[in-house]
Structure formats: C-alpha cells, structure tokens
Copies of this chain bind each other. A is one copy, B any other.
Amino acid sequence: MDEFEIETLADLELTDPVLVEGLPGVGHVGKLAAEHLLEELDGEEVRRIYSQHFPPQVSIDDGESELASAAFHAVHTEQGQDLLVLTGDHQAQDNQGHYRLTDRILDVAEEFGVERVFALGGVPTGELIEEYDVLGAATDAEFVEDLEAADVEFREDEPAGGIVGVSGLLLGLGERRDFQAACLMGETSGYLVDPKSAQAVLTVLEELVGFEVDFGSLEDRAEEMEEVVRKIQEMESNAAAGPADEDLRYIG
C-alpha cells in the first residue's frame, strides 16, 4: 500500500458542495455531528482514504475486519448546498502525517468543487455546560462575519493554543489552497461524549449551509448521557452522605 490510497466508490456530481469534517476529537462532538448528518440525510459513500499515517489497525464488525480509514459521503440536501461529509475513527499518528493527510482531504474536496470547508469539533470547558455556545475560527474576515451572523461566538485568545490536528490544518492548509474554511467548536465539558454540543454545532451549520435535519435521535442520545451523569452524581452524593447514615443507624 502507498503512503495514501484513495478509493473511488461512486462518481456523482454535487451542487455547490461544502466539505464537513467530523473526525474524532474533544467530546467526539465533530464525529457525532457528522455521523448524525449521515443518519438523517441519507448520503452515499464516494471516496475512502487509507494511509500509512493511520494506526496499524483493523476494526472488527460482525467478525469482519476493516482497515483504518476515513470516508467521504456525498449528501444531497433539498434546500441548500450539497454536503461532502468526512468521517472516520482516526486522526493521523504523526506530525507530518497530519499535514499530508489534510492535503489529500483537500484534494478530494477540490475534485468535488468544494469552496467552503467546515471543520466540526468541540472545545473543552472543564465543567458541565448549561448553554451550549459554539466558538468559531475561520480563514478570512468575510467568513468570520458570516459565522457571527449565525450566532457563532468569537472570544479573544480562544481557543487558547489554537486548533490542532486535521481540523486546524483544514484552515491552515485550506487557506493556502484558496478554500474558505471555518472551524465550529461546540462547548463541551470534555469529560463525556456530548450529543448536545453536537446538536448546537449542527444548528449553526444548518443556518450557514441552508438545510434542515431532525434532532430526535441526538436528543435521545443526549438524555441517555444525562441519565449517566445523574447516576454518577447520585453515587457521589450517597458516598458523601455515607457517614451521616452511619450516625442515624446508631441513634435509631
């Protein structure tokens, strides 16, 4: 296998498409969001990237192996621009690999006539979130304005340390290749898989790209997560109350 191999699974035309990247990251926000798009708006896999920069690993599904890779799905939307959705289970494993993988991703985007790129991800706050803001960054001032118009927040010196990995390089290398690229980062605690943060990010994306998607299944998944959180909190409070119970028993 070469350093990169890009498999063509289908050839089709997309109308004014945008690239939507959702590889693994903080709170799996980007991955959840991209996968939700594919569940709700039925997409067709068009390209698959294999690379020596992915981990040397196969995943197993029903006993069948699948080599580490990332996949592009084409999604036709009724209302707005079409989507080219990139999902996968892995980031590149080495410094140069991040650069080289991102360039291959942009090659595919170019091939489909993509002009705007949206990198979806999460930004960790370290505490449970009440209101899910979405932070932004983009390659140019014009795009920043568009994001602001869609209620994306821009805070000075956030995210501190910039944006690392494929999401960051889609902006950094994208700009050098004349793409307009933005990163949409949903606030998330950073401790849990966070469907609510993914929903917040998708709500912004809906407005920016002009499509509609049902959030029912994401909301269900969010409730499951909240159930988990409740249980954890109960356990903690019980543990805290423990000694008190002891006392009562002695009194009784």
Contacts and interface: CB of A to CB of B under 8 A. Distances in A.
Interface string A49-61: 0101101111110
B176 A1 contact: yes
A150 interface: no
Contacts of A181: 65
Interface stretch (A36-44, A166-174, A195-203, A215-223): A166-174
A212 interface: no
Contacts of A100: 52
A164 interface: yes
Interface in A187-217: none
Q: Interface size bucket, A side?
A: 35 or more
Contact of A138 (B65, B140, B163): B65
Contact of A65 (B5, B97, B147, B172): B172
Nearest to A145: B63
A102 B68 CA distance: 14
Given A1-B99, A58-B163, 10 more contacts: A1-B173, A53-B95, A53-B96, A57-B172, A60-B159, A64-B138, A65-B183, A67-B169, A94-B95, A95-B97
